[in-house]
């Protein structure tokens, strides 16, 4: 690769030096304080493990009341809560989240988080041997988004109950569809012939935060909830197959009890999912809005930054094997501020702009290829009858222009000082296998079970640019097993695999979270990596240190911090995820018990702080 890795490292070091000059980034007055904690070992311990001098406390587990006044049902340990109760309780499988301060002290704020999917065996008292309409409703209510109010008290962070901000947005919440695809024939249904309204958001994974202070939630694996009779699969068109919408392959039997999920009766309903959804966390009366200008895909991440010209750029991944990385750049400039007037002034900013797909070329250079009707071969002859078709079928448009097929692009993070962009490529066990795409410069490993982190810098340090430099920050794995294929940015990097969540704090520390599948944790090539973990990287030096290890079977995903960097919020998703051990029992009882099988494990948010009150990660 001709692009020099040192350019990235030097720029990161310069950013740290500049920040130190401002006296606000790091604990103490010297860069030696970066990553000053003692790395925790890889472990299969069924608990949350943090470094010496730190403490982790559970804040908001599945089933906790959200805080809606007059509707705060307690969690029923036997899963007997009704669908109506679940609609005002914490959802399952916490994922991406963000802390929005209330006031200037930093001691109060809104914690907004996604709930990605459901474990139906845990959600219902008797599992789903037999589905019912009530179980479908409860399942839909257990996904989506929570908005809760929290405050820092002498005894630690606590939820404010009740709260005027408290809100659940879930799979039955009414919301608008906006942008160029709204109202198009692809989005019209019998229930909504105008194609501009829809019930629900679900399969919510990574997130974004706009410069004007709203929350973006991403609809990822929505396809698994649409189904129909298996024999109808032969009638499904190529576009639906490209998105995995195939009767008989669904994960949940919603279609039997909620007709809108039946592909054979309502083929356009699935086109109304797979979008970025904007939510105003400060206004519980505001309808969420699906922003179609950002394109439809198995949406992973909607990371926002600002171009040199004052417009918003949104980076997005599509979390599936051989899918693409995208960027949207708004046409209009941002109205500065995060108050109610600024949020109102920017309410249509994400409805008009340019969508691109990334191509990573040999030699460390790349380009953003425009996805627009009538350009780059995207026209009626290629199957796109209108601009709306391009957005509804963004994957197919990416095929036409020749975007680079990636190894499951997931979370994207932008360095707060240098502007470098980092993306996790979680893994791809099919790369280079027969009939599948071969390796390439950006995806250099065949049967890539460990994944890695790729990064780029836009030309001119401008997020609005259409070309960039790129390199690999890390090719993950266990060096003891695959030394020739594993590459970390320095010798001071702890090993990890399947990177997924990614977050820069305001000081420029990069938090990396992993998602090794439950059946692979502690086995085979993953043996030495232990349970899923969160690491902290100093990108200026390449040091990566293991900061937190989660309980059995979990994924570590979702990370945000308070503005003063003295509190880190981390999500523990699906603890106890069943392994291939023949028992069928969860492998964990966290956080309510210590013996697997005695209580239902619960996804939860944990609060991580230094005992001495210092900056987390230093």
Query: Is 263 within the bounds of a domain?
Result: no
Give the CA distances from residue 217 to residues 48, 185, 229, 407, in Å, rounded to whole numbers and listed in that order. Answer: 26, 25, 31, 22
Query: Is 564 within the bounds of a domain?
Result: yes
- In the chain, what is the greatest distance between 2 CA atoms, to the nearest angstrom? 67
Give the CA distances from residue 183 to residues 105, 186, 189, 202, 347, in Å, rounded to whole numbers and listed in that order. Answer: 44, 8, 10, 21, 18
For 393-404, give the DSSP string. Answer: THHHHHHHHTPP
Query: Is 240 within the bounds of a domain?
Result: no
Q: Which of 2, 25, 29 is nearest to 12 (CA)?
A: 25
Using DSSP bridges, classify how beta strands 215-219 and 276-279 pair: parallel, antiparallel or unpaired.
antiparallel
Q: How far apart are CA 94 and CA 99, in angstroms?
A: 14
- Burial track 198-232 (b if 16+ CB lie within 10 A, e otherwise): bbbbbbbbbbbbbbbbbbbbbbbbbbbbbbbeeeb
Q: How much is the pTM? A: 0.95
Query: Is 322 within the bounds of a domain?
Result: yes
Residue 438 has a CB neighbour count (10 Å cut-off) of 9
Domain holding 447, by residue range, is 5-220+274-610
Query: Is 616 within the bounds of a domain?
Result: no
Q: How far apart are CA 196 and CA 388, in angstroms?
A: 13
Query: Is 144 within the bounds of a domain?
Result: yes
3 state SS of 242: helix
Query: Is 249 within the bounds of a domain?
Result: no
β-sheet bridge partners, residue 152 = 157
Please identify every stretch of the chain with a pLDDT value under 50, giving residue numbers as ranges. Answer: 1-32
Predicted confidence at residue 28, as pLDDT, reads 29
Query: Is 53 within the bounds of a domain?
Result: yes
355 by Cβ neighbours in 10 Å (0-12 / 13-18 / 19+) ranks as buried
At 270, list the tokens: 């699935």
Predicted confidence at residue 4, as pLDDT, reads 40
Side-chain-facing half-sphere of 223: CA atoms under 13 Å: 20
Using DSSP bridges, classify how beta strands 108-115 and 94-101 pair: parallel, antiparallel or unpaired.
antiparallel
Predicted confidence at residue 579, as pLDDT, reads 67
Predicted confidence at residue 34, as pLDDT, reads 86
At 471, list the tokens: 């390199």
Predicted confidence at residue 11, as pLDDT, reads 44
Predicted confidence at residue 397, as pLDDT, reads 98
Question: Who contacts 153 (Cβ-Cβ below 8 Å, separation ≥6)?
Answer: none
Residue listed under structure tokens 């990636």: 406
Predicted confidence at residue 30, as pLDDT, reads 33
Q: What is the pLDDT of residues 132-190, one digit of tens each?
A: 999 999 999 999 999 999 999 999 999 999 999 999 999 999 999 999 999 999 999 99
β-sheet bridge partners, residue 115 = 94, 144
CA angle 250, 256, 262 (to 5 degrees): 65
Residue 592 has a CB neighbour count (10 Å cut-off) of 15
In contact, 225 and 245? CB cutoff 8 Å: no
362 by Cβ neighbours in 10 Å (0-12 / 13-18 / 19+) ranks as exposed
**Domains of the chain: total:** 1
Residue listed under structure tokens 């691109």: 356
Predicted confidence at residue 87, as pLDDT, reads 98
């Amino acid at each position: 690769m001709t692009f020099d890795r040192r350019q990235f490292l030097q720029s990161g070091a310069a950013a740290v030096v500049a920040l130190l000059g401002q006296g606000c980034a790091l604990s103490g007055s010297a860069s030696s304080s970066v990553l000053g904690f003692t790395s925790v070992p890889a472990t299969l311990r069924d608990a949350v493990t943090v470094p010496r001098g730190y403490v982790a406390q559970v804040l908001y587990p599945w089933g906790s009341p959200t805080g809606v006044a007059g509707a705060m049902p307690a969690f029923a340990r036997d899963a007997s809560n009704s669908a109506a109760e679940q609609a005002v309780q914490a959802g399952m499988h916490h994922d991406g989240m963000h802390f929005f301060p209330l006031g200037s002290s930093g001691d109060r704020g809104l914690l907004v988080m996604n709930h990605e999917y459901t474990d139906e065996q845990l959600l219902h008292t008797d599992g789903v041997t037999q589905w019912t309409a009530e179980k479908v409703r409860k399942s839909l209510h257990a996904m989506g988004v929570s908005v809760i109010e929290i405050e820092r008290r002498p005894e630690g962070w606590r939820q404010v109950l009740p709260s005027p901000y408290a809100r659940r947005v879930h799979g039955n919440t009414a919301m608008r569809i906006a942008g160029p695809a709204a109202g198009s024939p692809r989005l019209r249904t019998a229930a909504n012939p105008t194609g501009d309204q829809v019930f629900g958001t679900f399969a919510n994974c990574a997130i974004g935060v706009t410069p004007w202070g709203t929350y973006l939630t991403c609809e990822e694996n929505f396809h698994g909830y649409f189904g129909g009779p298996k024999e109808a699969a032969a009638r499904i068109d190529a576009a639906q197959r490209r998105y995995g919408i195939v009767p008989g392959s669904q994960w949940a039997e919603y279609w039997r009890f909620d007709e809108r999920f039946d592909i054979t009766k309502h083929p356009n309903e699935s086109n109304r999912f797979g979008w970025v959804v904007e939510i105003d966390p400060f206004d519980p009366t505001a309808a969420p809005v699906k922003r179609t200008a950002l394109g439809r895909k198995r949406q992973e991440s909607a990371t926002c930054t600002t171009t040199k010209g004052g417009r918003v750029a949104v980076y997005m991944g599509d979390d599936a094997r051989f899918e693409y990385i995208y960027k949207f750049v708004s046409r209009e400039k941002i109205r500065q501020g995060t108050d109610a007037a600024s949020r109102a002034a920017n309410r249509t900013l994400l409805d008009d702009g340019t969508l691109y797909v990334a191509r990573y070329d040999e030699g460390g250079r790349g380009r953003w290829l425009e996805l627009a009707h009538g350009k780059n071969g995207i026209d009626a002859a290629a199957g796109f009858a209108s601009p709306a078709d391009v957005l509804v079928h963004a994957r197919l448009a990416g095929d036409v222009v020749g975007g680079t097929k990636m190894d499951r692009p997931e979370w994207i993070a932008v360095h707060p000082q240098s502007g470098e962009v980092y993306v996790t490529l979680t893994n791809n066990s099919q790369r280079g296998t027969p009939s599948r795409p071969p390796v390439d410069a950006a995806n250099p490993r065949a049967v890539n079970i460990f994944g890695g982190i790729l990064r780029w810098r836009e030309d001119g340090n401008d997020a609005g640019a259409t070309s960039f430099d790129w390199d690999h920050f890390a090719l993950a794995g266990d060096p003891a097993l695959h030394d020739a294929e594993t590459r970390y940015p320095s010798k001071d990097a702890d090993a990890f695999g399947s990177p997924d969540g990614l977050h820069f704090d305001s000081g420029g520390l990069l938090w990396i979270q992993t998602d090794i599948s439950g059946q692979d944790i502690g086995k085979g090539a993953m043996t030495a990596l232990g349970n899923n973990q969160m690491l902290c990287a100093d990108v200026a030096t390449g040091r990566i240190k293991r900061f937190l290890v989660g309980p059995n079977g979990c994924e570590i995903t979702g990370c945000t911090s308070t503005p003063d960097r003295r509190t880190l919020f981390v999500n523990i998703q699906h603890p106890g995820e069943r392994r291939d051990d023949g028992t069928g029992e969860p492998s964990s009882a966290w956080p309510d018990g210590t013996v697997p099988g005695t209580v239902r494990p619960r996804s939860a948010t944990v609060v991580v702080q230094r005992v001495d009150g210092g900056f987390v990660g230093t």
